[in-house]
């Protein structure tokens, strides 16, 4: 009889499904299972661990949803090669459900945006800079139109920051930056709305022009301050200032 892999002996006394997840992820961390490796079939896993096949099936479903495993029809289940976007979605849900404070979200936003800016300054090319300048033009155009252009400016604002994120040429940092922008969507929209409705749209645009200028000049010296200054925190802390 073929001997079972050593990592299948590590089942712990806790939730059976969680135990299967832990056994498989521990094996990945220890390099007993590597990207592209096929894991044992469900019946073999269940027999080796001394548990019901249904528990193994549930654990595999969870790891597949998380982007850690992938099932190939008629071939079996394999450890995924590389990062998948679905891996970060549970973190997003966890932050939402935990109802993190305004301060925590702002600190997370500043940390990620400053980091992404630094990557972009070091890695961008001229074609990408032209796209960023077009995003800046879109914001500028929104401020010159008649009527309420908050939604138009906000879309251009998002596109501007998405472009900076892509200029960093790090897919993981790009995804985390997008997650943070999703988490801070409401507070960012509130800032844009308050600034435009209070006649301070030019200040909002100038903050983005400063970020663009730092990229063009490859200036790493003041990134954190520029990012922080672009948030207009007094608007977020005092929403009534919109009517002043």
**In the listed set 52, 83, 114, which residue is the last one of a domain according to the structure?**
83
Structure tokens at 176: 């985390």
Residue 6 banded pLDDT, cuts 50, 70, 90:
low
Same domain assignment for residues 61 and 93: no
Q: Read off the DSSP letter of residue 147.
A: S
Residue 26, in any domain of the structure: yes
Residue 167, in any domain of the structure: yes
For 142, how many CA atoms within 13 A lie in the half-sphere containing its CB? 24
Average pLDDT over residues 37-49: 93
Residue 243 banded pLDDT, cuts 50, 70, 90:
very low
Same domain assignment for residues 50 and 104: no
Higher pLDDT, 215 or 2: 215
Q: How far apart are CA 204 and CA 22, in angstroms?
A: 48
**In the listed set 83, 100, 127, which residue is the last one of a domain according to the structure?**
83
Structure tokens at 20: 């299967």
The C-alpha angle with vertex 87 and arms to 86 and 93, in degrees rounded to 5, equals 80
Count of domains for the chain: 2
Residue 244 banded pLDDT, cuts 50, 70, 90:
very low
Say what the pLDDT of residue 241 is. 45
Distances (CA, A) of 140 to 1, 81, 84, 158, 188: 72, 42, 35, 14, 18
CB 132 within 8 A of CB 167: yes
**Could you tell me what percentage of the chain is helix, strand and coil, using 3-state DSSP and rounding each to the nearest 5?**
70, 5, 25
Same domain assignment for residues 234 and 133: yes
Structure tokens at 151: 């939604």
Same domain assignment for residues 93 and 193: yes
Same domain assignment for residues 76 and 163: no
Residue of 144, 176, 140, 143 whose CA lies nearest to 160: 140
Q: Which domain, by its residues, includes 226?
A: 88-243
Average pLDDT over residues 7-21: 70
Average pLDDT of the chain is 86
Residue 111 banded pLDDT, cuts 50, 70, 90:
very high
Residues facing 78 on adjacent strands: 38, 70
* Backbone phi and psi for residue 108, each to the nearest 5 degrees, phi listed first: -65, -40
Same domain assignment for residues 117 and 234: yes
Question: Could you identify the residue written with the tokens 């993190």?
Answer: 100
Residue 1, in any domain of the structure: no
pLDDT digits (tens, 9 = 90+) for 52-108: 999 999 999 988 888 889 999 889 999 988 766 666 666 666 666 665 567 788 888
Residue 10 banded pLDDT, cuts 50, 70, 90:
low
**In the listed set 83, 99, 118, which residue is the last one of a domain according to the structure?**
83
**CATH number assigned to the domain comprising residue 65:** 1.10.10.10
Q: How far apart are CA 16 and CA 23, in angstroms?
A: 11
Same domain assignment for residues 77 and 144: no
Distance of CA 12 to the CA centre of its chain: 32
Question: Hey, CA dihedral for 117, 121, 122, 126, is it positive or negative?
Answer: positive
Question: Could you identify the residue written with the tokens 């200054």?
Answer: 229
Residue 38, in any domain of the structure: yes
Same domain assignment for residues 188 and 104: yes
Residue 211 banded pLDDT, cuts 50, 70, 90:
very high
**CATH number assigned to the domain comprising residue 203:** 1.20.120.530
Residue 62, in any domain of the structure: yes
Percent of the chain with pLDDT strictly greater than 70: 82
pLDDT digits (tens, 9 = 90+) for 135-158: 999 999 999 998 889 999 999 999
Same domain assignment for residues 111 and 222: yes
Same domain assignment for residues 72 and 100: no
Residue 179 banded pLDDT, cuts 50, 70, 90:
confident
**pLDDT(113) > 60:** yes
């Amino acid at each position: 009889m073929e001997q079972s892999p050593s990592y299948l002996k590590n089942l712990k006394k806790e939730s059976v499904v969680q135990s299967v997840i832990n056994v498989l992820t521990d094996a990945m961390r220890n390099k007993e299972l590597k990207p592209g490796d096929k894991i044992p079939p469900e019946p073999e896993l269940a027999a080796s661990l001394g548990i019901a096949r249904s528990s193994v099936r549930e654990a595999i479903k969870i790891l597949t949803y998380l982007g850690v495993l992938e099932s190939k029809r008629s071939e079996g289940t394999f450890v995924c090669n590389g990062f998948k976007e679905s891996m970060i979605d549970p973190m997003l849900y966890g932050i939402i459900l935990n109802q993190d404070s305004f301060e925590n979200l702002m600190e997370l936003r500043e940390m990620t945006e400053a980091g992404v800016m630094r990557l972009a300054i070091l890695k961008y090319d001229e074609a990408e800079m032209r796209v960023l300048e077009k995003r800046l033009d879109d914001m500028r155009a929104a401020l010159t139109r008649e009527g309420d252009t908050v939604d138009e400016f906000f879309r251009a604002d998002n596109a501007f920051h998405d472009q900076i994120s892509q200029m960093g040429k790090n897919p993981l940092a790009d995804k985390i930056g997008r997650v943070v922008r999703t988490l801070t969507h409401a507070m960012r929209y509130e800032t844009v709305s308050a600034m435009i409705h209070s006649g301070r749209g030019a200040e909002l645009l100038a903050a983005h022009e400063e970020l663009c200028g730092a990229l063009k000049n490859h200036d790493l010296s003041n990134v954190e301050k520029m990012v922080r200054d672009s948030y207009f925190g007094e608007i977020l802390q005092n929403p009534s200032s919109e009517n002043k």
